[in-house]
Chains A and B, each alone.
Chain A
Amino acid sequence: MSPIVPLDEWYFGAYGGRYVPETLMTALDELTDAYRTYAPTREFQAELDQLYRFYAGRPTPLYYADRFSRALGKGRIYFKREDLNHTGAHKINNALGQILLAKRMGKRRIIAETGAGQHGVATATVAAKFGLECVVYMGEVDMARQALNVFRMKLLGAQVRPVTSGSRTLKDATNEAIRDWVTNVDDTYYLIGSVVGPHPYPEIVRDFQAVIGRETRLQLLTLTGRLPDYVVACVGGGSNALGIFTAFLPDPGVKLIGVEAAGKGLDTEEHAASLKKGAPGVLHGAKSYLLSDPDGQIREAYSISAGLDYPGVGPEHSYLKDRGRVEYRAITDWEALEAFTSLTRTEGIIPALESAHAVAEGMKLGRQLEQDEIMVINLSGRGDKDIPTVAQLMEVNL
């Protein structure tokens, strides 16, 4: 018998893989087959393209932020306006792609995990559009923090199941979604929301999000005739970041900066900086950098932003970090809040708190830009959902 070894395609260097219960291994093979069969077809791509254009509102603008740029220094700063997507963030790109796959696989029930609720809302939205049953797992703590998104999902016809195990946040919601999938694997499609999980999910989600970078590249070349010097994006699981980075990976002159949440500071226990402060381990089916104690217990992540509040990160980010192709930095809660206010006041754009981390790093970098250097910041989502959180921090009663 031939040696029992994993397939190379499961991994990004040393990271990724399929660390899941045996019950799911065949389902993951089927998903891989379906993805390789359907996604490359002209018919699939045409349907997705129509949905991107007329349903999601793509292409999203690449906006030159003149006041924001001038306030910082000499460079030119552009925002990729993923916040203008239907449902308010980049999450819809992936949800639309995966639901087309689910439909072709004949699945009638969609499950998803959500932290801040953005992916849950995107999934509930596409499930409503395609008339499929939808169950979203959400930690009890997150449900309390993001009550508005819980109600949105319910309005869209999804069932939101509170998760009361563990830390009652995104990682536990993901555990629960995996348990549901193990139990209902025959008729259920697990629509994962970031570039995490077992192979082939990190690849599928990256590919559906890569539209962000493809558009950005073309738009910037059209506008300026050149590539950017810097591309900056926030990293929780890391799907918006890989979405915009992927198109620029082959260009060594484009510096790629991923921004993790430093929470209350990298020298405290309260952060979500898996890449900066974690070590390789296995969570939710993939090997990647993550936050765990020396006994291997997963630590609770912390960030003001519920979408970055995750103790793991997509395996491709771990690979890109080790290779040195992407530089990862971290931004604290307060820096993100300052950036949130600053962008709101200078450009009239209220960013999601997740995206505000990228904006904050962009502000630091922006002060050092040379004349005519170009930086693109991925504005992954809009801040409407965060208004109650910010009001509370400002001690304003709404």
Chain B
Amino acid sequence: MNRVALRFQELQKTGRKAFIPYIMGGDPDLPSLPGILETLVVCGADLIEIGVPFSDPLADGPLIQAAGMRALQNGSTLTKLLATIEPVATSLPVPLVFMVYYNQIVRRGLRRFMEEVKAAGGAGLIIPDLPPEAAVELRGLAAELDLSLNFLVAPTSPEERILLAVTASTGFLYTVSVKGVTGVRRGLPPELPDFIQQVKALSSRPVAVGFGIAHPEQATIISRLADGVIIGSAIVQAIGEDPGLKRMTALVKQLRAAI
């Protein structure tokens, strides 16, 4: 069993809901990354999602776009990002999942990319622009290397597409809370609880919900419905505004307490 699935299994035994913070790999810079990861673990992260900065992140809103640009400007390349993570990954008690756009995988070569992620201690991937149908080869490689692939479902996904993503996902099912891109939003869509319940009912995999969740009150509501809560833009914003990480630490503690 891959490490992501294993982690959810452990959490479910204790009835704990997963807190999954997202950070942009290399923002504000790569030397800060090990410290950020350790802080997140100390503050109670159960899994960590690391964004691989990309020039054209079409699923992301302005906050993560800006963080990606900062990371690229500060020299965060895929090679350097993996090299930074490799020495710390094994000592971290939580699985690291990369959110990466598909061109970065294609350009590297599918097998080489997966082997490098594995070698760096990564536990899986989220690929926002790769539907399950187009992942035949990648799914084979992920199974071979025991890495998890975590596909997305959206409020526009009909039942058959949710089932497609359930079947293809080997870690958790990434449930997108809104029609839209990543970002910080107030409130939650009124139809979200029903949608999460529908996904839960169809899914044999753990269900984690992300996009737009920024505030502890939102996190509390989601955590009652789903197996995990993914929070990205708000954390990325806190890091961007205060590279000293005080603001991020305070936010992450609040969020952990709320889940």
User: For the complex, what is the distance from the CA of A166 to the CA of B56, rounded to whole Å?
Assistant: 7
Min Cβ gap B195→A in Å is 12
Q: In chain B between 125 and 167, which residues have their CB closer than 8 angstroms to a CB of chain A?
A: 128-136, 139, 151-158, 161, 163-165, 167
Pick from B58, B69, B101, B151 the residue with the most CB of A within 10 Å: B58
Q: Are B156 and A296 in contact (CB under 8 A)?
A: no
Stretch at the interface among B2-10, B87-95, B102-110, B222-230: B102-110
B14 close to chain A: CB less than 8 A: no
Q: Contact size class for A?
A: 35 or more
Which one, B35-43, B176-184, B242-250, is touching chain A? B176-184
Does B78 touch A at the CB level, under 8 Å? yes
Whether A392 sits at the interface, judged by CB under 8 Å, is no
Q: Count A-B contacts at CB 8 Å.
A: 136
Interface pair B65/A165, CB less than 8 Å apart: yes
Contact of A296 with B58 in the complex, beta carbons under 8 Å: no
Contact A18-B131, Cβ < 8 Å, known A25-B161, A295-B77, A295-B104: yes
**A27 CA to B165 CA in the complex, in Å?**
17
In the complex, whether B123 has a CB less than 8 A from a CB of chain A is no
For the side of the interface on B, what is the size category? 35 or more
Minimum Cβ distance to chain A for residue B78 (Å): 5
Q: Out of B108, B176, B181, which one reaches A22, CB within 8 Å?
A: B176
Contact B72 A6 (CB under 8 A): no
Q: A23-B176, A182-B179 are in contact. Are A171 and B134 (CB under 8 A)?
A: no
The distance from the CB of A7 to the nearest CB of chain B, in whole angstroms, is 8
One digit per residue, 1 when the CB lies within 8 angstroms of any chain B CB and 0 when it does not, for chain A 1-43 equals 1011111000000000111111111110000000000000000
* Pairwise interchain contact A297-B54, C-beta atoms closer than 8 A: yes
Residue of B nearest to A26 (CB): B156
Identify the interface centre among B61, B128, B180: most chain A CB within 10 Å of its CB. B180
Chain A residues whose CB sits within 8 angstroms of the CB of B180 once the complex forms: 23, 179, 182-183
A22 touches B167 (CB 8 A): no
Docked complex: B51-88 residues within 8 A CB-CB of A:
54-59, 61-62, 65, 69, 72, 77-79
B168 within 8 A of A: yes
Max chain A C-beta neighbours (<10 A), residue from B131, B154, B163, B167: B131
**Chain A residues whose CB sits within 8 angstroms of the CB of B158 once the complex forms:** 26
A256 to chain B, nearest CB (A): 27
| List of 5 A-B pairs having minimum Cβ-Cβ separation, nearest first | A296-B104, A296-B107, A23-B154, A183-B180, A6-B133
Contacts A27-B156, A294-B107, A295-B78 known; 10 new A-B pairs at CB < 8 A:
A1-B167, A3-B136, A4-B132, A4-B167, A18-B133, A22-B161, A23-B155, A175-B58, A295-B104, A296-B105
- Please list the residues of chain B having a beta carbon within 8 angstroms of any beta carbon in chain A: 54-59, 61-62, 65, 69, 72, 77-79, 101-108, 128-136, 139, 151-158, 161, 163-165, 167-168, 176, 179-181
Chain A interface (Cβ < 8 Å from any Cβ of B): 1, 3-7, 17-27, 165-166, 171-172, 175, 178-179, 182-186, 279-285, 287, 290, 292-298
13 pairs from A and B in contact (CB 8 Å cutoff): A3-B136, A18-B133, A19-B134, A23-B180, A25-B157, A26-B156, A26-B161, A166-B55, A282-B103, A284-B56, A295-B107, A296-B54, A296-B108
